[in-house]
Amino acid sequence: MATGKKKSTRAGTKRASGRGQLAPSKSSRGLSAAEVAVALDSPEVAQLVQLVGAAGGAALGAYREPLGGRTLLLASLPLAAVQPTPFQRDLSPTHAKRLAAAIEQTAAFLDPLIVVRGEDGRLWTPNGRHRLAAAKVLGLKQITALICPDESLAYRILALNTEKAHNLKDRSLEVIRMAHSLVKRRGREPENTFAAEFEAAELITLGMVYEKSPRFAGGAYSAFLKKVDRFSERSLSASLAQRKDYAARLLEIDTRVKSIIAALQARGFKSPYLRNYVVARINPVRFHKSKKGDASPAMPLPQALTRMAAAARTFNVGSVSNSDLAWVAVGAGSSES
């Protein structure tokens, strides 16, 4: 027994010592220093230099980013020349003011904006809305930017935006705004070709719901949708039309959920987890566990919504007990830690 304890202790120590360590790649890739350097008079950046000059800015330097080899231009731009992409999340004035105060305190605006050449030659930033607003609060004349000629980068907001953590509503609204923008020009392409831009299929559906109901409690339905919502092989325009129906059905279910919550509150239940509890009870795939590597949905989304709506209509308020809610609270607490 003592030997067994020693072995398990050593194993535990070994595992603990490896925590937080990253194994470097066995092979190197990317560009060398000579390949990274680009002269400002190079034809590669001639159009970008001209664009910056026309905007009232100044080109500062150029290089190829060392992973994919994209040519980037470092430039100083007037604040008025840069706009956030039209499908970004709404500005948080509180965060922008807090960011401005922090920049003022350090007396240095160090992080350049990522800027892409958007529609009609406009300059868009996919990840700097709050830094741009903070610069305006501070009254800056110019802002430093890394300009990329690749417009598709404007649709990688979720991957690029690091200045303010996205919540579920932020992510969903940005995704549906991107979808509305992309469908105008690339609506015939299959929806699943935009998986990298949209990140997760359920964000499109939730985005449509949030557009109709900004106060929708999407977090309560997120686990359900993750199990049943997948990118479609249909065209983006056809898929968005179908998702409009899914969003309407989800809102109808939520209306019923609200009435169930009101009935429970009338019976004296005051738990903050009432919505989570009700949605979990009517979730038709709550016990489904996918096999490792299986990305198929637990059931088709239309079928799942039909069953969820039926469960909401037949929900028995009298079957709810305080012990049920206690278990939900324990689950919520463990998921938040």
Residue bearing tokens 């390949």: 35
Residue count of the chain: 337
Q: What is the pLDDT of residues 89-101, one digit of tens each?
A: 778 888 888 888 8
Q: Three-state secondary structure along 59-78?
A: EEEEEECCCCCCEEEEEEEE
**Coil, helix or strand for 58?**
strand
Joined together, the tokens standing for residue 73 give 């231009």
On whether the pTM is more than 0.85, the answer is: no
Mean pLDDT calculated for residue range 123-147: 89
Give me the percent of the chain exceeding a pLDDT of 90: 50
pLDDT at 334: 40
CB atoms within 10 A of CB 2: 6
Cβ atoms of 325 and 269 closer than 8 Å? yes
pLDDT score at 333 = 42
| pLDDT above 70 for 332 | no
108 close to 81: Cβ distance less than 8 angstroms: no
Cβ neighbourhood burial of 283 (10 Å; 0-12, 13-18, 19+) = buried
Give the DSSP letter of residue 99: H
pLDDT at 18 over 70: no
Q: Is the pLDDT of residue 282 over 50?
A: yes
Q: Are the beta carbons of 125 and 132 closer than 8 angstroms?
A: yes
Per mean pLDDT, which range of 21-35, 65-79, 135-149 is the poorest?
A: 21-35
Return the pLDDT at 14.
Answer: 47
Residue with tokens 């509305």, as numbered in its chain: 180
Q: 153-177, pLDDT tens digit by residue?
A: 767 665 565 555 568 998 899 899 9
Dist. CA 184–CA 172, nearest whole Å? 19
pLDDT 10s digits, 102-118: 888 888 888 888 898 87
